[in-house]
């Protein structure tokens, strides 16, 4: 029996004003999110990549497993650039149906 995939939804954002919470217009569109399997109960889990939509939200279906999650955003202005990133872990358990996983980027 193959475990059901879990619907994972969330948003990618950066705390532009430094107040510690997500405010309007702080979500980021078109951000690449990588979910890389680090351990799994079976061979059904695979590495997955998705991009946030135009409003900074994403939805993906993942098999039960432990994933290393990475996202990165670079702003270029003239000759300078600023990079914001996220590195974390997400564990999807057998029997879960949905999961919310928001990603807060931090300046490198």
Which residue do the tokens 């600023």 mark? 82
CB 86 within 8 A of CB 103: yes
Domain annotation for the chain: domains and CATH numbers: 6-107 (2.60.40.1120)
The Cα 49–Cα 87 span in angstroms is 14
The Cα 79–Cα 65 span in angstroms is 41
In the predicted model, is pLDDT for residue 27 greater than 90?
Answer: yes
CB 106 within 8 A of CB 84: yes
Segments in the chain forming alpha helices (H) = none
Reference 51, options 66, 29, 67; nearest CA is 29
**Average pLDDT for residues 85-100, to the nearest whole number?**
96
**Average pLDDT for residues 41-52, to the nearest whole number?**
96
pTM over 0.85: yes
In the predicted model, is pLDDT for residue 98 greater than 90?
Answer: yes
**Average pLDDT for residues 46-63, to the nearest whole number?**
98
């Amino acid at each position: 029996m193959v475990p059901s995939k879990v619907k994972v939804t969330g948003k990618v954002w950066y705390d532009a004003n430094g107040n510690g919470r997500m405010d309007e217009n702080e979500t980021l569109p078109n951000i690449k999110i990588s979910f890389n399997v680090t351990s799994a109960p079976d061979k059904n889990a695979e590495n997955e990549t998705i991009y946030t939509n135009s409003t900074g939200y994403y939805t993906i279906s993942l098999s039960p497993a432990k994933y290393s999650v990475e996202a990165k955003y670079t702003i270029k202005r003239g000759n300078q650039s600023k990079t914001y990133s996220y590195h974390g872990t997400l564990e999807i358990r057998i029997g879960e149906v949905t999961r919310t996983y928001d990603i807060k980027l931090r300046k490198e």
